[in-house]
Structure 1
């Protein structure tokens, strides 16, 4: 498994309600996406950064997803270019089935 942390840092604070709307509108294409185990849309406590966290089955699928075209689209949506970090998941706890 591999994690991907995508961070957007705009010049002005994000509006929580606007990001909630974005998350709702963009949720659909990720549901049932092959290779994607988990995706979250997040906002830091001060509204200064939006962060999306993904858990993928393998690195190849993760890297194939984040194309230049996708980066351009999300830059428009979030109003800032993303920083993309690939993280090796060495352990994982899933309590969703309990």
Structure 2
């Protein structure tokens, strides 16, 4: 399993209501997406950053998702270009079923 951390940093701070709106508008295409285990929309208020975390079944699916076209599109949505980090998930705890 591969994790992808996508960070958007702005000179002006992101706020919760703006990111909640973005998350609400963008969640649909991710529901049931092949190879994607989960995606989270996150706010780092202290650091003034929006962060999205993805868990993918494999690295090939993750890397094929983050195309130049997608990066351009999300730069327009968030108003800042993303930094994309690929992380090897070596362990995972899922308490959602309890």
TM-score by length of 2: 0.97
Indicate the RMSD between aligned Cα atoms, in angstroms. 0.8
2:76 aligns to what?
Answer: 76
Where does the alignment leave 5 or more consecutive residues of structure 1 unmatched?
Answer: none
Contact 2:8 2:80 in 1 (8 A): yes
Contact 1:35 1:58 in 2 (8 A): yes
Matched, 1:12 2:23: no
Distance 1:22-1:47 versus aligned 2 partners, 3 A rule: farther
Distance 1:64 1:23 in 2: 22
2:41 aligns to what?
Answer: 41
Stretches (4+) displaced over 2 A? none
TM-score by length of 1: 0.97
Contact 1:14 1:47 in 2 (8 A): no
2:94 aligns to what?
Answer: 94
Secondary structure of 2:87's counterpart equals: strand
Quote the offset at 1:46 in angstroms: 2.0
